[in-house]
Amino acid sequence: MNDNNFISGTFSRLFRLGETAGRIGYAFLKNFGSYHNIDLDQIIKAVDTLSRLKGAPMKVGQMLSLHEDLLPPEIIEIFKVLQKDSPPMPFSTVKTILEQELKEKLSDFDSIEEKPFASASIGQVHKATLKTKEKVILKIQYPGIRKSIQSDLTTIKLILSPLFKALEIPFDPVWEEIRERLLEEVDYIHELNNLKTFHQFVSIPGLVFPIYFGEYSTTEVLTLSFEESYNFNEVTKHSQYQEYHESWIYILLKLIIFGLFRYKILHVDPNSANFGFRENQVILYDFGCIKKVPNSISIAYKKTAYAILNHEWDKASHYLFEAGIKTKDNQPLSEKFLKPHLEIIEEIFPDKETYFGEDSKIYQRLLQIARDSWKEAKDIIFPKDLVFIHRNLIGHFGNLRKLRVKKNWRKVFLELLDQTNESEK
């Protein structure tokens, strides 16, 4: 694979990472406080570099692209490149990897499509058929990606650490959590075990997990059943799928609420590309990034959710303290600080029929709240577990609002929350 498709080598990647950080920083800092006249050329070049770096840098870019309303449409359209197929590695490389990893078991395959079905940050996916006529997909890691992620993480930490320090935000707990999740993603046996866990413990009507083939899986190759489905862009853009939107949004809400409060395990990569859709079914893909929710946080967050939706804000501060969210001097957050945050959650779940998250300016208001409460926010500490729990919630909020279903979502949320109080599996 040539350098134009996948930038490898520690020095090359170090240089490109620094260059990318510089381009994005320059484009935004020179227009700080305004989204107008952002240097799109700098952003385009930075995104192109991220897509060729793959691995950890591309993951960071994908995370940015999830939060559409935080950035102007022109920037989001550019970052969406990172949610689509990235330049693939040639089939000759794919074949070599498969021969090394599967050895004689490769002869059990009747055919493997040379053109990748999808390409992503860690590897690419090829459709295949076993001699048993079972249709499967092969997830195949890019060569050297595990080693490059190790070096990239070191470089990204060097880039981000001074920024966090300047903003007086605790960095080490956040970084530890990010590092753990990213390193897990480059171990396909770990992903296979995550999928096994979901098959064993998570039961939500309409939610489908691929079947796994452990005998054809290694740390660098993962074999799963091929699940025919429509993608997120198709089902949100074309009216013929509208009749299924309500069932899909219920399934996704259960995935979030039951995962957090009943099963205590979350699929924390809410990129829309990780979901497929069939009639009244949602297929969940990519189990590389899974978060086990500590029992203390699950219990405290459930009590917090009830308190917010019942307008008992004085209790919310106490419950968040139980979850480990507190001031540096070990005190609960003040009601004055929490009030604007709690108000906006109530806006997302008003006690009336509305389209989920229909107010497109909620993200902007969240940013304004963050600016207004900046001084007090710097004195808050929180468990590292919340990094990916909150990533899950924010990412799903962006997905759910695109399904455009009008309901009393506060009532739906409370009903689902009540269901998690039933006997747990």
Contact 182, 133 (CB under 8 A): no
Q: Is residue 337 part of a domain?
A: yes
Structural domain contains residue 97: no
> What gap in Å lies between CA 69 and CA 91, rounded to an integer?
38
For the record, the structure tokens of 352 come out as 């009336």
Q: Cβ distance 78 to 44 under 8 Å?
A: yes
**Predicted local distance difference test score (pLDDT) of residue 377:** 65
- 381 phi/psi in degrees, rounded to 5: -115, 155
Query: What amino acid occupies position 72?
Result: P
Q: Are 39 and 26 in contact (CB under 8 A)?
A: yes
Would you place residue 168 in the very low, low, confident or very high pLDDT band (cuts 50, 70, 90)? low
SS3 for 282?
Answer: strand
pLDDT value of residue 26 = 44
Residue 23 inside a domain? The answer is yes
Residue 415 located in a structural domain: yes
Between 358 and 236, the more confident residue is 236
Distance CA 30, CA 42 (A): 12
**Structure confidence at residue 226 as a pLDDT band (50, 70, 90):** very high
pLDDT band at 11 (very low <50, low <70, confident <90, very high): very low
| Residue 101, token pair as written in the block | 């990893």
Cα separation, 206 vs 283, in Å, equals 8
Within-domain flag for 108: no
Tell me how far apart the 2 most distant CA atoms of the chain are, in Å: 66
Q: Which two tokens stand for residue 223?
A: 């074999």
Mean pLDDT of the chain: 79
Helix (H) or strand (E) holding 207: strand 207-208
On whether residue 217 sits in a domain, the answer given is no
Scan for tokens 């995550």, then name that residue.
194
Q: How many whole angstroms separate alpha carbon 258 and alpha carbon 90?
A: 41
Where in the sequence is the domain holding 72, given as residue range(s)? 10-83
- The runs of H, that is alpha helices, within 67-123 are 73-79, 91-102
How does DSSP assign 123-163, residue by residue? EEEEEEEETT--EEEEEEEPTTHHHHHHHHHHHHHHHHHHH
Instruction: Determine the Cα–Cα distance for residues 161 and 275; give it in Å rounded to an integer.
Output: 33
Q: Which residues contact 200 (CB under 8 A, 6 or more apart)?
A: none
Cα–Cα nearest to 148, from 4, 288, 16: 16
Is residue 109 a part of any domain in this protein? Answer: no
Among the candidates 55, 83, 111, a domain finishes at: 83
Domain boundary among 37, 56, 83: 83
Give the number of domains in the chain: 2
In a domain, 57, yes or no: yes
- Segment 347-384, tens digit of pLDDT: 888 889 988 877 767 767 766 776 666 566 677 888 88
From 84-93, 109-118, 323-332, 400-409, the region with the lowest mean pLDDT: 84-93
**Looking at residue 387, what DSSP letter applies?**
H
Cβ 221 vs Cβ 188: under 8 Å: yes
Nearest alpha carbon to residue 190 among 292, 262, 96: 292
pLDDT in tens, 185-222: 788 999 999 999 999 999 999 999 999 999 999 999 99
Burial class (CB in 10 A: 0-12, 13-18, 19+), 45: middle
Residue 89 has pLDDT above 90, yes or no: no
Last residue of a domain, one of 83, 112, 146: 83
Whether 85 and 116 have beta carbons less than 8 Å apart is answered as: yes
pTM over 0.85: no
Percent of the chain with pLDDT over 90: 40
pLDDT of residue 263 exceeding 90: yes
What confidence category does residue 158 fall into, taking pLDDT thresholds of 50, 70 and 90?
A: low
In whole angstroms, give the CA distance from residue 32 to residue 42. Answer: 15
Cβ contact 382:325 at 8 Å? yes
